[in-house]
Amino acid sequence: MARPRKWLWALLVLPALIGVAIWVWRLQSAHALELYYIDTTIEHFNAGYFYHTALSWMDDGEVQLLPIGLAHPWEPGNSTGLPPRAGLAAAYLNGHIYVTGGYGSSGVPCSDARNEVFFTTVHSATHELADWQPTTPLPTSVYPEGVRFHEAAAITVTQGGGGEAAFLYVFGGEEEDGASSSIYADVLFAPIHPDGTLGSWQATTPLPEPLFGMESAVWNRRIYIIGGLRQNGQSSSAVYFAQPNPDGTIPSWTRTSADLPFTIGNKPHYYEPAVAIEHGRIYVIGGASGVLGTTFSPYIFFGAPDPATGDIVSWTPVYPEILPQNLFAGEGAAYQSGLLLTIAGAWNNLTTPTGDVLAALVDHETGQTGEWLYTIGMTQPRYWHSVVQDEYGWLYAIGGATGYSGACLSQIAVASPYSGGGQLVASAPSLAATGETTPTIYAPDGIFTSAIKNVTQYGGTAAQLVKLAWNTTIPDPQAMTITLSYRYNRDGVWSPWSDPVPSRGPGTLTTTLPISITCEYFQYRAYFSTTVLTQTPYLNAVRVTVLAPPDLVADDLTVTGCPSCPDVIPLNQPVTIAFTVHNRSTSLKAGNNFFAMLFITTTAGYQPIPPDCPDGCDCNHPDTCPFIWGLQATDFEDTDPPMVLTTTHTFTQAGTYYLVAYVDYNDAGPWPFFDVPELVETNNSRTFVAHVGYRRVFLPLIVKGHRPP
> How does the average pLDDT of the chain come out, rounded?
82
* Cβ pair 629, 617 in contact under 8 A: no
Span 513-530, pLDDT tens digits: 999 999 999 999 999 999
- Which percentage of the chain shows pLDDT scores above 90? 56
Residue 401 shares a structural domain with residue 383 = yes
Residue 99 shares a structural domain with residue 145 = yes
A 10 A CB-CB count for 578 gives 16
DSSP 8-state class, residue 44: H
User: Residue 681 falls within a domain, yes or no?
Assistant: yes
Instruction: Check pLDDT > 70 for residue 209.
Output: yes
User: Residue 48 falls within a domain, yes or no?
Assistant: yes
Residue 164 shares a structural domain with residue 130 = yes
Range of the structural domain that residue 448 is part of: 28-66+444-547
Q: What is the mean pLDDT of residues 577-603?
A: 70
Residue 338: which of 391, 280, 278, 388 has the closest Cα? 278
Torsion on CA atoms 624, 628, 633, 634, rounded to nearest 10: 160
Residue 563 shares a structural domain with residue 541 = no
Residue 553: which of 582, 586, 588, 593 has the closest Cα? 582
Q: Give burial (CB, 10 Å; 0-12/13-18/19+) of 327.
A: buried
Q: Looking at residue 640, what is its pLDDT?
A: 65
Residue 522 shares a structural domain with residue 668 = no
- Nearby residues of 325 by Cβ (< 8 Å), 6 or more positions away: 298, 347, 348
Span 670-709, pLDDT tens digits: 434 444 556 666 777 889 998 988 654 434 443 333 333 3
Q: Are strands 22-25 and 33-39 parallel, antiparallel or unpaired?
A: antiparallel
Q: Looking at residue 263, what is its pLDDT?
A: 92
Residue 451 shares a structural domain with residue 392 = no
User: Residue 19 falls within a domain, yes or no?
Assistant: no
User: Side chain identity at 55, as an amino acid letter?
Assistant: L
CATH number for 169 = 2.120.10.80
- Nearby residues of 76 by Cβ (< 8 Å), 6 or more positions away: 411, 412, 413, 414
Positive or negative, the CA dihedral 416, 419, 423, 425 is positive
Q: Looking at residue 504, what is its pLDDT?
A: 92
Q: Looking at residue 392, what is its pLDDT?
A: 80
User: Residue 12 falls within a domain, yes or no?
Assistant: no
Cα end-to-end span (Å), the chain: 69
In this prediction, residue 620 has a pLDDT band, given cuts at 50, 70 and 90, of low
Half-sphere exposure of 615 (CA within 13 A, CB side): 4
Least confident of 110-119, 275-284, 550-559: 550-559
Q: Looking at residue 181, what is its pLDDT?
A: 59
CATH number for 618 = 2.60.40.10
User: Residue 305 falls within a domain, yes or no?
Assistant: yes
Q: What is the mean pLDDT of residues 293-305?
A: 94
d(CA 443, CA 535): 10
Instruction: Check pLDDT > 60 for residue 216.
Output: yes
692 phi and psi angles, rounded to 5 deg: -110, 125
d(CA 559, CA 564): 10
Span 241-284, pLDDT tens digits: 999 999 999 999 999 999 999 999 999 999 999 999 999 999 99
Residue 271 shares a structural domain with residue 134 = yes
Q: What is the mean pLDDT of residues 126-146?
A: 95
Span 53-104, pLDDT tens digits: 988 766 778 999 998 988 768 999 999 999 999 999 999 999 999 999 998 8
* Cβ pair 201, 126 in contact under 8 A: no
Least confident of 380-389, 463-472, 593-602: 593-602
A 10 A CB-CB count for 199 gives 15
CATH number for 478 = 2.60.120.260
In this prediction, residue 178 has a pLDDT band, given cuts at 50, 70 and 90, of low
Least confident of 383-397, 398-412, 474-488, 629-643: 629-643
* Cβ pair 124, 95 in contact under 8 A: yes
* Cβ pair 377, 357 in contact under 8 A: yes
Q: Are strands 685-692 and 655-667 parallel, antiparallel or unpaired?
A: antiparallel
Instruction: Check pLDDT > 90 for residue 229.
Output: yes
Paired with 373 in beta bridges are: 359, 426
* Cβ pair 289, 235 in contact under 8 A: yes
Q: How many distinct structural domains can be found in the chain?
A: 3
Q: Which carries the bigger pLDDT value, residue 200 or residue 462?
A: 200
Q: Which of 529, 547, 565 is the last residue of a domain?
A: 547
User: Residue 429 falls within a domain, yes or no?
Assistant: yes
d(CA 296, CA 289): 6
In this prediction, residue 363 has a pLDDT band, given cuts at 50, 70 and 90, of very high
Paired with 587 in beta bridges are: none
Instruction: Check pLDDT > 50 for residue 27.
Output: no
333 phi and psi angles, rounded to 5 deg: -150, 155
d(CA 492, CA 462): 11
Q: Which carries the bigger pLDDT value, residue 311 or residue 47?
A: 311
Q: How far is CA 641 from CA 28, 31, 285, 584, in A?
A: 14, 11, 71, 10
Span 427-450, pLDDT tens digits: 222 222 223 334 678 999 999 999
Q: Which of 547, 566, 600 is the last residue of a domain?
A: 547
d(CA 154, CA 91): 6
Residue 309 shares a structural domain with residue 431 = yes
Q: Looking at residue 21, what is its pLDDT?
A: 31
